[in-house]
């Protein structure tokens, strides 16, 4: 586990990498993956500065090759960094050190992929964000926040709002976290109901953690900050844009064990979450009205891990089934690990 001062230095290196990203070969998610694989943003940053002397080799992949063969395999990683690029990186790192110190002074809590508090569920997805800013209460370290996303239209009708409210009540009764995006309509209704039921609710917002959007939900966001948790995967003062909300939906789908789609339209942002949930291997629970009113909903019906429901009892049954499958899978994984460990001990490995 990294000490606080070490984590600040790692976070500064991560911020510098993200602020100078070469979009021709990297994304924020690929940077996050490199950092996790190396266990250090500093090592990845040093590689960017001097790839010839700070390789990011997989220790199991290249050991059998001589230096010349490694150079051929690594290809462009051996191309020296230009002076301009080096100056850009060093300047960005200096600025990043100031930024992370200022964020800490301002009470902004940056939770990077190197932080033990980073959500376990997001570590499982291929497009994990490199960091989250958080306001609110974390669960105990290494404890997974089991929750279900409740999403839908901002201009939802009364029937959909009642459905979202009842789903939130049911989730709280099962000890599950109610996850939503703090938007007007279905999201806000789910958050409100979870708070009223004294359950845990987590909001993923489509802006920086220092913003309140929409302004109408400011009080709700503050309530969640004090009684649940608010996450943002963007720079602290990032405003709302057309790309931040789909990105937020993608992260939200990876955080929960499933997504309940209460109401949606043909070109709704909820469609993004449905697509990403499939990408993440997370089940989708769709209200039948979504299937009736959207072509993308109809196309999802016969896909694996998709449930179509007409009432809250059916949502509850679907969640029970999902949790049972997850439990059986975890038991199987634990059994494989135990057998491998026993075999290793029997032959004197490790």
| Residue 60: per-residue pLDDT | 46
Band (pLDDT 50/70/90 cuts) for residue 326 is confident
Q: Produce one character per residue of 39-70: b if its CB has 16 or more CB atoms within 10 Å, e if not.
A: ebbbbbbbbbeebeeebeeeeeeeeeeeeeeb
| Residue 54: per-residue pLDDT | 85
**According to CATH, where is 3.40.50.450 located in the chain?**
132-326
Judge contact between 188 and 195, C-beta under 8 A: no
Q: Looking at the predicted structure, is the pLDDT value of residue 61 above 50? A: no
Q: Across 144-244, where does the E strand assignment appear? A: 147-152, 177-180, 201-204, 229-232
Q: Across the chain, where does the E strand assignment appear? A: 109-112, 131-136, 147-152, 177-180, 201-204, 229-232, 258-263, 284-287, 306-309
Residue indicated by tokens 């199991």: 60
pLDDT in tens, 309-322: 999 999 999 999 99
Helix 28-38 × helix 41-49 angle, to 10°: 110
Q: Give the residue, 141 or 288, on which the prediction is more confident.
A: 288
CATH topology of domain 132-326: Rossmann fold (3.40.50)
Band (pLDDT 50/70/90 cuts) for residue 112 is very high
Tokens for 89, please give them. Answer: 């990186």
DSSP letter, residue 215: G
N- to C-terminal Cα distance for the chain? Answer: 22
Band (pLDDT 50/70/90 cuts) for residue 71 is very low
Tokens for 163, please give them. Answer: 């459905």
Give the span between the Cα atoms of 164 and 315, in whole angstroms.
Answer: 11
pLDDT in tens, 186-230: 999 999 999 999 999 999 999 999 999 999 999 999 999 999 999
Average pLDDT for residues 103-122, to the nearest whole number?
A: 96
Q: Are strands 201-204 and 177-180 parallel, antiparallel or unpaired?
A: parallel
The percentage of the chain sitting over the pLDDT mark of 70, rounded to a whole number, equals 87
pLDDT in tens, 10-33: 999 999 999 999 999 999 999 999
């Amino acid at each position: 586990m990294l000490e606080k001062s070490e984590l600040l230095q790692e976070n500064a290196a991560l911020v510098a990498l993200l602020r100078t990203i070469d979009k021709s070969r990297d994304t924020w998610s690929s940077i996050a993956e490199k950092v996790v694989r190396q266990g250090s943003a500093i090592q990845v940053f040093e590689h960017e500065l001097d790839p010839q002397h700070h390789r990011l080799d997989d220790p199991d992949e290249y050991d059998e090759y001589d230096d010349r063969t490694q150079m051929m395999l690594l290809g462009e990683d051996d191309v020296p960094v230009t002076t301009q690029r080096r100056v850009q990186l060093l300047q960005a790192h200096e600025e990043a050190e100031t930024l992370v110190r200022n964020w800490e002074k301002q009470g902004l809590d940056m939770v990077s992929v190197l932080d033990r508090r980073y959500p376990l569920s997001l570590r499982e997805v291929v497009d994990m964000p490199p960091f989250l800013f958080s306001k609110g209460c974390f669960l105990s370290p290494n404890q997974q926040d089991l929750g279900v996303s409740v999403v839908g239209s901002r201009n939802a009708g009364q029937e959909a709002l009642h459905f979202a409210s009842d789903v939130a009540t049911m989730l709280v009764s099962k000890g599950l976290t109610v996850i939503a995006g703090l938007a007007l309509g279905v999201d806000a209704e789910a958050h409100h109901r979870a708070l009223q039921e004294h359950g845990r609710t987590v909001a993923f917002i489509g802006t920086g953690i220092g913003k309140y959007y929409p302004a109408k939900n400011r009080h709700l966001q503050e309530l969640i900050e004090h009684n649940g948790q608010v996450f943002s995967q963007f720079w602290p003062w990032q405003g709302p844009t057309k790309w931040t909300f789909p990105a937020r939906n993608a992260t939200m789908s990876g955080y929960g064990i499933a997504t309940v789609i209460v109401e949606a339209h043909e070109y709704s942002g909820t469609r993004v979450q449905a697509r990403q949930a499939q990408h993440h291997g997370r089940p989708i629970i769709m209200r039948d009205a979504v299937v009736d009113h959207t072509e993308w909903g109809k196309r999802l019906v016969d896909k694996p891990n998709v449930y179509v429901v007409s009432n809250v009892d059916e949502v509850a049954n679907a969640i029970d089934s999902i949790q049972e499958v997850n439990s059986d899978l975890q038991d199987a994984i634990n059994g494989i690990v135990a057998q491998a460990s026993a075999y290793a001990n029997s032959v004197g490995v490790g």
